[in-house]
Amino acid sequence: MAQIINDISRTFNEYILIPGLTAKECTPDRITLRAPLVKFIKGSLPEITLNIPFVSAIMQSVSDSNMAIALARNGGLSFIFGSQSVEDQAEMVRKVKKYKAGFVISDANLTPEHTLRDVIDLKARTGFSTIGITHDGTSNGRLLGMVTSRDYRPGRDEPGKKVKDFMTPFSKLVTGRYGITLDEANDIIWENKINTLPVIDENQYLRYFVFRKDYENHKDNPNELLDTQKRLLVGAGVNTRDYEERIPKLVEAGVDVLCIDSSDGFSAWQAETIKFVRDNYGDSVKIGAGNIVDKDGFLYLAEAGADFVKVGIGGGSICITREQKGIGRGQATALIEVSHARDEYFKKSGIYVPICSDGGIVQDYHMVLALAMGADFLMMGRYFARFDESPTRKLIVGGNYVKEYWGEGSNRARNWQRYDMGGSSNLKFEEGVDSYVPYAGKLKDNLDITLGKIKSTMCSCGALTIPELKEVAKITLVSSTSIIEGGAHDVILKETKREN
């Protein structure tokens, strides 16, 4: 008969933190949330360290170049989804590496021959109200004009009206020359009392926009995650099927770290993929692996040479792997076992392999629980999918703003490459759903609140760093009655809007 493991498969929601001594020096402003992203030898430092312990999930509905830029500017890192052509993924990586703080590549562009209807559709689809009008409708075409919401009246102007008839023509635009510094660009904006400055090269080709609204934002990102050349860091997801083609192109594009995207990472296919990286690039290319849920899975991938290991099967809000295949484990139980395995491996080998907790986060305090249970950093999908910077549409459903969110294991994603079972190249059944999440606004606004909660909770536990949290945190199981007691109860709540 099968091996029976009697441990109960538990989730984060079944645990709570017990307060420790909060010393006078333990204040939120003194807390650091830096965390290792890749493995390192005892006594040395990791080559990549996160400034906040967050990475965004390898998903079509979460991690594109816009999310990667926004999250890196706030100290985390995105793994750009791999369920797209190699060329498109590599171009997203290049876009992040080329990003200069304050200089925004235009993502909303049309030609003079487009119509007002096209403008309105583009604005609805992208959320951008500033549209670059170029000769070929691309982000780096020759700039012929610009359209903002002040250039047209949807209720009065004909939908078929040509863009060339209402755009602000190039002759009336204030522009900056490519090579200009951000300070110089902001000076032009303030001196000319404009909201947007197009930056063009000597041939009038559009290179960037600089926005007035971003001025303060650019001064307010002390946690930016940068490489030695002061470029933003970015990751990318790969699979175990076309890695021989995909990885070289991502490396050429400048990717900083790779991660194998799979619903079940305890697989010979993953070891082969890691071996390809080591044989061709040595340790210069970093690659994480997973997902696994126990000691055996961790040790297999660590011995295979993974730079970090992802923990979690079936715990994501859109994941139905446990339903469909009957495999997985409660995220808390999986994380606790793998953390012990990681620590034992470190003592034995002198190599510290960071672990990433992927899935199962519902409340913000679950993030602290995951870190206290041993995770070095967290991968999240639903959390980031709610923000303006995610690549999905914002819609009104049932009178509320929502954003689309679908799993990589859904038919919509058609990401059959992430299943390491060999055989034919199609999706036999779904392991993810197509859904909505409540729209939450800008990433930075929400992230600041979340990080504030984490730091406050760490103070209550008496910890100033994540490693210290792992040492001093006390965690206890809770009963179902205790969970009810922990929320509002035995009162009549006023009908006020509650934040998600």
CB of 378 closer than 8 Å to CB of 354: no
DSSP state of 376: S
The DSSP-derived string for 42-91 is: TTS--S-EESSSEEE-S-TTT-SHHHHHHHHHTT-EEEE--SS-HHHHHH
Q: Which residue, chain included where needed, has tokens 């102007």?
A: 157
> CA torsion 12→18→21→27, rounded to 10°?
40
CA distance 286 to 36: 13
* Contacts for 54 with CB less than 8 Å, ≥ 6 apart: 71, 75, 76, 77, 377, 378, 380, 447
Q: Which residue, chain included where needed, has tokens 């992040």?
A: 96
Let me know how long the chain is.
500
125's enclosing H/E stretch is: helix 116-126
From residue 450, how far is each of 20, 53, 72 by CA, in Å? 21, 12, 16
Given the residues 26, 73, 418, 461, the one annotated as active site: 418
Strands 176-177 and 40-41: unpaired
Given the residues 26, 259, 319, 461, the one annotated as active site: 319
Q: How is residue 198 written in tokens?
A: 């197009």
**Known catalytic residue at 461:** no
The catalytic residue positions are: 319, 418
